Structure 1
């Protein structure tokens, strides 16, 4: 009996130690608000193009930030090593619907090993490395910001990843990501939903400023090229109709400057294709994208933001500029109110919208009529847990 009690006590002690060395955290964010927008396309004309414009007022989720929930955990392996995992999925706060075809954990599903001295190695699904502009976007990749004028090129996810985050050394750190196509052709051959994706960035951080240089590429799963091949039958499924916005290489230089209550941010992106054929008029093969803005932390709770985003494309794609202002007010450490006002001004050959819409001129894309503007106002509330 005494031996049994001793064994039970030892088992309980071991369990308590194991529990102390492991942890799982449930977290999330809910974002919801009301949105007004004019310059919304309507009607069906020649070749399916919109024929008119209207306005709308709607309830919206995720304009200021994606609504999401997830779990992350860590287990101490000893010797300074830790096993880590993260599961994260997005959803619509207004309807409760999840990501649909993207899977339950459409944003993150990773497992790996971390060490403070050697860095972190992960395997699984992640936000693609082009999301690395988030830290340098005045509006933090809200719906109307750094992804809008490149039609979502800056915020995709990718599967089959191997990624590495280095520790910081003398202000420098490195992050790299490699995504396998899982096809018999290394870059993709139409047998898998994703082509090979890859990228890396280096960041240098000081108390006064931060700079980041980034390169990334997204391959067309149909043929492994850095460009869309237009197919009117399969474009809706393959994403090829998006061309440079979907499949391309991207060179990015970004900066943050910290001046007391003010933060100044800016970036330049060169988006380039290779092997792209069959593009339609107004469908670019190259894009130059830049932005700049300033955030004023007026009080510990209140921030005011102003920014300008601009894109210029070849092949008659024209150019467009988003002018936007807004801000947030923290009711607590976890809850904030947000507001954004924005307008996109298109040149005579362009039809970029405030949202990161797909390429096209039909009303279904939500892009304004070619050469027309689009203006919107959004106000909402966000809670994190």
Structure 2
């Protein structure tokens, strides 16, 4: 990714220049905001493929990123809006995604107080936008709190390109959203398509949400230009998701389908919640597996605002995989996650994260072979799983928003 350093630097300079000269004073009814987060931590892992590791890991409490967003009032309660957002590696000074400067979000659209918001571009799905904040990840962060390998996309790994998104206004606490991402291939408009719908309800201390997500693989034939007989989820697919030792045996799926629901209740300084998700990988002609693979995850969490500047959170989850594809003893993953935060100011926070995960049973590796399931804590150890049934992670870090 080092070839992106000059590109990232030039792009950041350009954004800063634009933000400096474009301000609300340029137009009384317009605003332009430059924003971002810098996050880093000293991290310890007891076992990464057989070895303990002490290293710096960035983007733990919040993803390290910078962005530019604009809002222009058009009258009648209607706004023109846009967002350009890029992730970066704080420790290496590199772009988070090779060849894609605005890898996180890039969209433009219209928003109306009565009729809702419609946007076009690269965006998060309604599945994530509505359910994610109510899952344990919303209180524990993805690095240590995401379900194994962020299997169900409750962290920020799932996005869709070429997407049209509509979010309705709230009606008595109820809100709906729908997205369709077009493959854009002549003669095969649905190639690599992504679809998502979600509902959420919020009234007083109660919040509920449910979502559905479907991502299709753009490559479905039995051969490609390299003559390979199999391929992972193709980069031309509109949807993208995280790959880990938990799901790497199933990324050759012709389609991935997710369903999730979550709810939380707040009383005083305490917030508690429950969630459930089902993730299915459907096989096709190019797949290295023959039977549909299914993962069911159950989770619970609690968050306490101990004082104005101190917060604590804890979560547990249990993930169960299905049998099939030569797997006699289906994989199981149990995880406990903890978080402690102390705010030095409105923009700066010190934090500590701890997580323990135990794996049992069998799964498929990246070649489709049956292997023992390896624990991979949260979204921080995706391809650095433990060589033993247990993995422990601890982080001490700082994040600053701007």
**Partner in structure 1 of residue 134 of structure 2:** 136
Contact 1:149 1:320 in 2 (8 A): no
**Partner in structure 1 of residue 250 of structure 2:** 243
Of the candidates 74, 79, 87, which is equivalent to residue 82 of structure 1? 79
- CA positional deviation for 1:356: 3.5
State the superposition RMSD in angstroms: 2.7
Q: What whole-Å deviation, never above 9, does each CA across 1:288-328 have from its counterpart, x for those lacking one? A: 01211100110111111110122111133411011111221
Q: Does 1:272 align with 2:280?
A: yes
Of the candidates 63, 75, 80, which is equivalent to residue 66 of structure 1? 63
Of the candidates 374, 389, 401, which is equivalent to residue 351 of structure 1? 374
Of the candidates 319, 327, 339, which is equivalent to residue 332 of structure 2? 319
Contact 2:24 2:32 in 1 (8 A): no
**Partner in structure 2 of residue 10 of structure 1:** none
**Partner in structure 2 of residue 383 of structure 1:** 400
- CA positional deviation for 1:357: 7.5
- CA positional deviation for 1:186: 3.2
- CA positional deviation for 1:352: 3.2
Distance 1:178 1:355 in 2: 28
Q: Does 1:173 align with 2:180?
A: no
Distance 1:312 1:245 in 2: 20
Q: Map 1:190-205; keep pairs closer than 5 Å.
A: 195-205=192-202
Q: 1:245 to 1:92 in 2, by over 3 A?
A: farther
Q: 1:327 to 1:269 in 2, by over 3 A?
A: same
Which residues of structure 2 form unaligned runs of 5+? 1-22, 222-227, 236-242, 363-372
Q: Map 1:31-110; keep pairs closer than 5 Å.
A: 31-41=39-49, 53-101=50-98, 103-110=100-107
Structure showing greater radius of gyration is: 1
Q: What whole-Å deviation, never above 9, does each CA across 1:73-105 have from its counterpart, x for those lacking one? A: 111112221111111011111121112326111
Q: 1:307 to 1:245 in 2, by over 3 A?
A: farther
Q: 1:103 to 1:16 in 2, by over 3 A?
A: closer
Q: 1:16 to 1:40 in 2, by over 3 A?
A: closer
**Partner in structure 2 of residue 24 of structure 1:** 32
Q: What whole-Å deviation, never above 9, does each CA across 1:249-291 have from its counterpart, x for those lacking one? A: 111110011111110022101112334464459x971110121
**Partner in structure 1 of residue 16 of structure 2:** none
SS at match of 2:61: coil
**Partner in structure 2 of residue 185 of structure 1:** 188
Larger deviation: 29-38 or 153-162? Answer: 153-162
Distance 1:288 1:245 in 2: 20
Distance 1:235 1:252 in 2: 24
Count of paired positions: 341
Q: 1:219 to 1:287 in 2, by over 3 A?
A: same
